[in-house]
Structure 1
Amino acid sequence: MTVPHTDPHTDPHSDLHIRPADAADLPAIVAMLADDPLGAARESPDDLTPYRRAFERLADDPNQYQVVAERDGRVVGTLQLTIIAGISRRGATRSVIEGVRVHSDERGSGLGTLLIQWAIDESGRQGCQLVQLTSDASRTDALRFYERLGFTASHVGLKLSLESGV
């Protein structure tokens, strides 16, 4: 899953590689998830036990893609892509993008766009007719970012937490 590039001298992403995450990537993934006010309140980078269990479940599910963007051997971005078969929309398959994070020193570099484009392209390869995502309403920069990429705020998302603190 290498990102295609044409000129390594002018392209700032020529050394970027998007690949499936492995268990060794969990510390970097969790650190990125925790690196904002919302994540800092709900993630626990000091205890990777629940993340390891979750990663094993993802790895065992062929409809789950946890990927990382790696540059020079360093994880600098991540996202999770889930493929969901459905009956609605004439039996449409959809994908859901979750947990998109870019390392703080890579923000604004175009890496987020490359990650989302990878997810859109993979969704197409998987036969999806719809790509959806949610973002916390307080993340106004993220909302603007997704809108610039063509996503529209077409639905109201509701969540019910079944565990406190999550």
Structure 2
Amino acid sequence: MSDFVIRPATADDIPDIVAMLADDELGARRESPDDLAPYRAAFERIATDPQQRLVVAVREGRTVGTLQLTLIPGLSRRGATRSIIEGVRIHADERGSGLGTLLIEWAVEASREAGCRLVQLTSDATRLDAHRFYQRLGFEASHLGFKLPLD
């Protein structure tokens, strides 16, 4: 695994990140890789928010993985800070290489270093392989999630 480098994402990574976000049945319906303007605006908001960590995994000069880690201070759990892992994507050519594990381990350690007491994530109900992957890494399916689209 030493041939992967995890680093903060830059604006130059946006096309590769969006391509990975769009590279499955769900992503193909909700992403628009042909129009990067909204992604560039979102990147600027993320890059200037100290509670956000958007990272990419690079191997041999190629962006091959990404995730976003958000730190959320809260009152529950005795004032604990928690983190949320979102947007985990691995390039199709790298799936099964161990990169997903490396990225999640990075996110857990970054959360620990930031003083978080809980790491959480969501995964679409149809992504059964992802559910098994997260469970192998110690995550428990503990809650039922709900979403309300506002657009």
Give me the TM-score of the superposition, normalised by structure 1.
0.90
**Partner in structure 2 of residue 74 of structure 1:** 62
Looking at structure 1, the residues matched to 137 and 3 of structure 2 have their Cα atoms a distance apart, in angstroms, of 23
Output aligned runs, 1:126-145, within 5 Å: 126-145=114-133
Provide, for residues 55-76 of structure 1, a one-character-per-residue CA deviation record: whole Å limited to 9, x for no partner.
Answer: 0000010000000000011100
* SS of residue in 1 equivalent to 2:116: coil
Higher relative contact order (CA 8 A, sep 6+): 2
Looking at structure 2, the residues matched to 53 and 143 of structure 1 have their Cα atoms a distance apart, in angstroms, of 31
Q: Give the AA of the match of 2:113.
A: R
Q: Please, which runs of 5 or more residues in structure 1 have no aligned partner?
A: 1-12
Matched, 1:22 2:16: no
Overall identity of the aligned pairs, in %? 72
Output aligned runs, 1:43-62, within 5 Å: 43-62=31-50
Instruction: Work out which of the two has the higher radius of gyration on C-alpha atoms and give 1 or 2.
Output: 1
Q: Please, which runs of 5 or more residues in structure 2 have no aligned partner?
A: none
CA-based RMSD: 0.4
* SS of residue in 2 equivalent to 1:129: strand
Deviates more, 1:118-127 or 1:13-22: 13-22
Q: Give the AA of the match of 2:92.
A: S
Q: Give the AA of the match of 2:17.
A: I
How many residues are matched?
A: 151
- In terms of fraction of residues, the more strand-rich structure is 2
